Chain A
Amino acid sequence: QVQLVESGGGVVQPGRPLRLSCAASGFTLSSYAMYWVRQAPGKGLEWVAFISFDGSNKYYADSVKGRFTISRDNSKNTVYLQMNSLRSEDTAVYYCARIVGTTRADHWGQGTLVSVSS
């Protein structure tokens, strides 16, 4: 069955970097686009970044543009989110999700918590 497992979250100081990973199994990752969505404590969902099936196209929310980088290694069945210059407002649970038909996410991971605090 399709499974997505995020890892790499934790407590990090403002300005420091952190890299999240999303390990995919149960399907051929190289056939699917993926995205990251985050949810601040007690808040709603916010789309963060999108990567096409082959990594050739990447798009970002304005709130993270220039600081976050999405990438993938299809040979390792893993998608990454490199987060630099972290701010307190980046504190959230980060979910990765599989995109189908470009328009929707049909499978989600369980999320990983990132807490930016001094």
Chain B
Amino acid sequence: QSALTQPASVSGSPGQSITISCTGTSSYVGGYHYVSWYQQHPGKAPKLMIYDVSKRPSGVSNRFSGSKSGNTASLTISGLQAEDEADYYCSSYTSGSTYVFGPGTKVTVL
């Protein structure tokens, strides 16, 4: 059982915005500004979408944004597109160079 909690699934229509939450504790998420989000399409390797809560790597669409409030981090996808249909995982870095992943959220584009 993961130390982070994510909704199992989130869905939206093309063009809409959706938000995926990632809830932890002060040891994970709350105490550090080191939350990352990864996108994974079936049979593919994960791809970094957001790091350090709200920073976007070069090449990632600005439709993806991240935020955090207390022990909950969030990933928002704006202008939802068919290609956004995938699994999304939050991850938190903690002291001692250990990492934890959330259970993942399946995003469905209706």
Cross-chain contact B45 with A110 (CB below 8 angstroms):
yes
> How far, in angstroms, from A110 to B45 measured CA to CA in the complex?
6
Tell yes or no: A104 within 8 A of B by CB: yes
Give chain B residues whose Cβ lies under 8 Å from the Cβ of A106. 48, 51, 57
Cross-chain contact A95 with B89 (CB below 8 angstroms):
no
Given contacts A105-B36, A105-B48, 4 further A-B contacts (CB under 8 A): A45-B101, A59-B97, A103-B51, A104-B91
Give chain B residues whose Cβ lies under 8 Å from the Cβ of A105. 36, 38, 46, 48
Cross-chain contact A45 with B36 (CB below 8 angstroms):
no
Residues of B within 8 A of A (CB): 2, 34, 36, 38, 40, 45-48, 51-52, 57, 87, 89, 91, 93, 96-104
**Nearest A residue (CB) for B57:** A106
Interface 1/0 per residue, A65-98 and B, CB below 8 Å: 0000000000000000000000000000001010
Interface size class of A (residues with CB under 8 A): 20 to 34
The interface residues of chain A, by DSSP majority, are classed as strand
Give chain A residues whose Cβ lies under 8 Å from the Cβ of B93. 102-104
7 intermolecular pairs with C-beta atoms under 8 Å apart: A47-B99, A50-B99, A97-B46, A102-B97, A103-B51, A103-B93, A108-B46
Interface 1/0 per residue, A14-52 and B, CB below 8 Å: 000000000000000000010101000000111100101
Tell yes or no: A117 within 8 A of B by CB: no
Residues of A within 8 A of B (CB): 33, 35, 37, 44-47, 50, 52, 57, 59, 61, 95, 97, 101-106, 108-111
**Nearest B residue (CB) for A44:** B104
> How far, in angstroms, from A47 to B100 measured CA to CA in the complex?
6
Q: Which of A50, A97, A110, A111 contacts B98 (CB 8 A)?
A: A50
Cross-chain contact A44 with B2 (CB below 8 angstroms):
yes
Q: Which of A45, A59, A102 contacts B104 (CB 8 A)?
A: A45
**Nearest A residue (CB) for B98:** A59
Cross-chain contact A50 with B51 (CB below 8 angstroms):
no
Give chain B residues whose Cβ lies under 8 Å from the Cβ of A101. 51-52
> How far, in angstroms, from A101 to B35 measured CA to CA in the complex?
12
Cross-chain contact B51 with A45 (CB below 8 angstroms):
no
Cross-chain contact B51 with A104 (CB below 8 angstroms):
yes
